[in-house]
Amino acid sequence: MKILIFGHYEIASNYAISQVVEALADHQIQIVLSGKGDAFETGGDDFSKLAHYEQELSNALNQEQDELGLACKGFDELAKLTNNEIGQLANPNSKTGLAQLKSYQADLFISIRYRKIFKPQAIAIPPKGVINLHSGLLPKYRGAMATFWAMLNGDEFIGSTLHYITDKGIDTGPIIATAPIKCDYDQSYLENVLRLYPSGCQQIVQAVQQIEKKEPPSLFTQPLSGNYYSFPDMHNLNEFFDMGFRLM
């Protein structure tokens, strides 16, 4: 199949996409990124430092310096592996963005930490649909930084959820699979986020195999209930630090 993988230039997206690309080496894959870093509206210097650190870790992978021992390939190496340059797409719903999406002629879209919301016209392009690996357990943690909120709430488990994107709702589509793991409170927020991806990416691979065989995965319709979280503000961040937790 021709698969278009969407991500962002930061370490968690890089780590996850590397696993998926290597596992799906028999498919034609193109990677498209929404940009670099994160524009946190709140959180001040602490979140800015986190965003910078995440980006620098991806830079290090491109220089073959794996500071966290993740054993994954940087985006430059992934471009060579897929025989395609890394694309950039900041607005998938614009006229230009839609034309770019159509030009790839992909059968399936996979989103992993892509920073943009797909609207109906974009969602309708790939014949086999759009799937997203969300870094939180749905429907309890929709939205941004689910692992942060789970740690702040003292949850025993964090996890990822693989689901279809069927409309412009955020993290509301039919669930393919969830992968809960125990939260390690001795590790930082970023370290816990990275721990989500070995199991979450394996679920992507399994779903792709099913889709390729024309055996669509079993789906679970999300209830209307659930929680939506936006980016933490300074009050949330100070509360997080007061509990002895670290961002990185």
CA atoms of 248 and 97, how far apart (whole Å):
34
pLDDT confidence of residue 49: 75
pLDDT confidence of residue 66: 61
Please state the pTM of the whole predicted model: 0.92
- When the candidates are 3.40.50.170, 2.60.120.10, 3.40.50.2000, 1.10.8.60, the CATH number that belongs to 2-242 is 3.40.50.170
Q: Which two tokens stand for residue 11?
A: 């370490």
**pLDDT tens column, 50-79:** 777 777 776 766 665 566 677 789 999 999
pLDDT under 50 in the chain at which residues? 40-41
pLDDT confidence of residue 193: 97
- The answer to whether 37 and 55 are in contact (CB under 8 A) is yes
